Amino acid sequence: MSKTKHPTIIIGACEWIGLPLLDVNKLRARIDTGAKTSALHVSDLETFRKRGADWLRYRVAIGSPRPNRYVDCESRLTNIRKVRNTSGKMEERFCINTRLLIGATGWDAEITLACRRKMRYRMLLGRTAMSHHALVDPGRRYLQGFPRS
C-alpha cells in the first residue's frame, strides 16, 4: 500500500504569501489552478556568478497597484523554463527555489521570475507549487490570513 501525501490546508482564490528567504513578509498572490508554474514580479533582474554557480539579483516590489517598498534579493538560478505568458506567447524565464508561507504552513516551491507590472497581483501561485500542499476553494479569498512563521 503506497502512502499518498494529502493537502494540509484549504486556500482561497487569493492569499497572502510570505517568502521568508527573500525577506518578503507578505505579498498578495492570485491562486491559479490553470497555470502550471508560479510567477513572481521582479525588476532590475541580472545574472552573476557566485561560488561557481549562476545567481540572480533582482528587486521585489511590495504593494499594489503602486509599490510602496522594494526588497533587494539574490537567489541561485535553478532552472530556465519555457512558459506561456498571459498573452499566450512562449518566453523563457529564470527559476528559483524558495520557501513560501501561506498562513502557518510552509513548503519549498519553484518560482519563475517575470515582469508582472501590469498585473493586479505581484505573484501568481500555480498548481505545481500547490500540489500535495493545498486545496483551493475558488469562491473564497484570504482564508489563511497573513503568513506566520
Q: Are 125 and 29 in contact (CB under 8 A)?
A: yes
pLDDT tens digits, one per residue of 99-121: 999 999 999 999 999 988 778 88
Kindly list the structural domains of the chain, giving each domain's residue range(s) and its CATH number in brackets, ordered by start. Answer: 9-137 (2.40.70.10)
CA atoms within 13 A on the CB side of 14: 8
Report pTM. 0.89
Residue 135: which pLDDT band, with cuts at 50, 70 and 90?
very high
Alpha-carbon distance of 23 to 122, in angstroms, equals: 15
Using one digit for the tens of pLDDT, what is the confidence trace for 66-95?
767 899 999 999 999 998 877 778 989 999
The answer to whether the peptide bond before residue 65 is cis (omega within 30 degrees of 0) is yes
